[in-house]
Amino acid sequence: MIEELRIRDLGVIADATLPLGPGFTAITGETGAGKTMVVSALGLLMGERSDAGAVRSGASQARVGGIVRTTDAEVAEIVEELGGDIEDDELVLSRTVSAEGRSRASVGGSSAPVGSLGRLAGRLFAVHGQSEQLRLRSAAAQRDTLDRFGGEEIAQTLREYRAAHRERQELSAQVAELTEARDERAAEAARLRAELEEIAAVDPQPGEEQDLAQRIELLSNVEELRAATSSAHEALATDSDDPMSRDASSLVDEAVREVERVAGHDQRLESVLDTLRSASFQLADAARELAAYAADLDQEGPGELAQANERLAALNGLFRVYGADSAAVVEYAGDAAKRLTELDGDDERIDELTARLEQLGEQERTLASRLTELRTEAADRLSGLVTIELRQLALPDAEFVVRVTPLDTLGGSGGDEVQLLLSPHPGAQPRPIAKSASGGELSRVMLALEVVVAAVDPVPTFVFDEVDAGVGGAAAIEIGRRLARLARSSQVIVVTHLAQVAAFANNHLQVVKDSSGGFTESSCRRLEGEERLAEMARLLSGLSDSESALEHAAELLALRD
């Protein structure tokens, strides 16, 4: 329910606040005062396309804001998703349109895409005007109207049908793709198999190339390494029988002996002695390691270098095709193996999908048949109830018919064509409402539909833009009564030019035009008492002070009571 609507610089409206609230609100005003701007403002809050030409002349932007009271859990979920808040069940929506055509929206105090207003609108509003009359002429809209009336049983069956239909379409596409691309997939499988065989023949190990490079470096310089380590070992611990040869170990050992001989005379030499002993041990360790290293070099076979180079060349051949290093090649092989498993299972997969398609096809046909039954039952009930409403709306001889025709093919909403038909007088064949109903009759058909459907599937807020077009007299009075009846379960906002309709509103707002400043500027005010009576008289006769019109207006207002 919209509690309040604020409009600034939209069309001829400079600044207007519309207190709406529950029940039936009638909006009236002189021609050109800007009544339709109220509907346009609501359209902006519903995410409809903006028009820079609607910004009031001289203003930089138009702004529309609304306070909507709601306890709808789905609305709350959407608002939370957008980063907005609903406080005390009140949701604040706003929309701005600049003179350059830029449009912005806010939901619950947070900036949001304009399209998000449209998501919320489906849960909050239903607008009926000329565009909605055109929409109702479409087959999809007529089917949706019947489904709304059918209630939860149709809704649940339709959800199950759509789930089966969607899955069947997706699986059908998969089967077609697998079947049509079978040759291509066979060629891909052959290529992957050859690649995996090539990789398996080399069998690369992650990090292997680094180890090989180091090994090749060693083997390429083994003689130089042998000579250098031999010389180093000789310098540390010579094996020579020459008594005059002096190596590093013997020199350090001699130094240890000399210091030990005199260390007792001065304690400061103890630390020097420790250092010399440590050096002696370290030199002995180094000499042993050099001897062991030299012994290992002696074990290197002359053919190992050629083998290492050959192995590295094989790895580099893989790197040029399958990845930058061994790890990348191994990863490629893993992915290729998975893909090959998938490709090799094509025939089995096609058989599985085909079997599932048959199951889904049977399920889809069963649900479509059930939908046809439910829709046919609902169509009979809707036909009778709307016909009764039309007779109360000054169409006493009209008969409303909802026809459900099963089709040969199944679509996204089942296999039925739904037509809303009207027979305006006895003996006339029912024809589509777009062809058999005049503008005024179409307005009454729409109102009758909403009154009947709302009893099953109410919408929080209905907005009617001149639903009384083309009618008057007793028909207008019955339209007013039906709108008041609809307002028992929903908020109803009506832009009207008929006093017979406005009389049944519990909230009467007038859009007031002011041209005193040389240009037209409109505002809005709530009418009560004598002011409302005068506006009703103006609607009846064009004169707000006509005694006969005032008497007639009072009679009309008495009808509401």
Q: 3-state SS string over 338-406?
A: HHHHHHHCHHHHHHHHHHHHHHHHHHHHHHHHHHHHHHHHHHHHHHHHHHHHHHHCCCCCCEEEEEEEE
List, in order of start, the domains of the chain with CATH numbers: 1-129+466-527 (3.40.50.300), 208-324 (no CATH), 533-561 (no CATH)
Q: What is the pLDDT of residues 104-146, one digit of tens each?
A: 999 999 999 988 888 888 788 776 655 555 456 678 888 988 9
By mean pLDDT, which of 41-50, 180-189, 473-482 is the weakest?
180-189
Q: What is the pLDDT of residues 400-413, one digit of tens each?
A: 999 999 998 999 99
Q: In which band, very low, low, confident or very high, does the pLDDT at 229 lie, cut at 50, 70 and 90?
A: confident
The per-residue pLDDT for 377 is: 96
Instruction: Give the pLDDT confidence score for residue 185 in this predicted structure.
Output: 78
pLDDT at 490 over 60: yes
- What are 420-463's pLDDT values in tens digits? 998 888 878 888 886 766 666 777 788 888 888 888 887 788 88
- Percentage of the chain modeled with pLDDT above 70: 91
Residue 90 contacts residue 83 (beta carbons within 8 Å): no
Please determine, for residue 224, whether its predicted confidence score (pLDDT) is greater than 80.
Answer: no
Q: Which pLDDT score is estimated for 26?
A: 92
Range in 24-38, 113-127, 466-480 the model is least confident about: 466-480
Confidence class of residue 503 from pLDDT cuts 50, 70 and 90?
very high
**What is the DSSP-derived secondary structure letter of residue 325?**
S
Helix 222-236 to helix 269-299 angle, to the nearest 10 degrees?
150
Summarize the confidence of residues 471-499 as an average pLDDT.
86
Residue pLDDT, tens place only, 239-266: 665 666 678 888 888 888 888 888 888 8
**Regarding predicted confidence, which is higher, 493 or 351?**
493
pLDDT cut 90: percent of the chain above it: 30
**What stretch of H or E contains 450?**
helix 439-454
Mean pLDDT over all residues of the chain? 85
DSSP 263: G
Calculate mean pLDDT across residues 316-337.
Answer: 90
What pLDDT is stored for residue 436 in this prediction? 66
Stretch 159-185: mean pLDDT, rounded? 85
Q: Is the pLDDT of residue 498 over 80?
A: yes
Please report which confidence band the pLDDT of residue 375 belongs to, taking 50, 70 and 90 as the band edges. very high
pLDDT exceeds cutoff 60 at 518? no
Buried b (16+ CB within 10 A) or exposed e, 294-328: beebeeeeeeebeebeebbeebeebeeebbebbee
Range name among 107-116, 287-296, 328-337 with the lowest pLDDT average = 287-296
Q: What is the pLDDT of residue 147?
A: 93
Residue 135 tokens read as 């929409």
**Nearest CA among 303, 309, 311 for reference residue 204:** 311
**Mean pLDDT in residue range 380-403:** 90
Strand order in the sheet with 399-411: 399-411, 414-423, 431-432
Task: Specify the amino acid at residue 100.
Answer: E
Report, as an integer, the average pLDDT of 17-38. Answer: 84
Q: For 509-530, what is the mean pLDDT?
A: 77
pLDDT of the residue at 133: 53
Given this model, what pLDDT does residue 561 score? Answer: 64
Region 12-21: mean pLDDT is 87
Mean pLDDT over residues 183-206, rounded?
87
DSSP 244: T
pLDDT of residue 507: 93
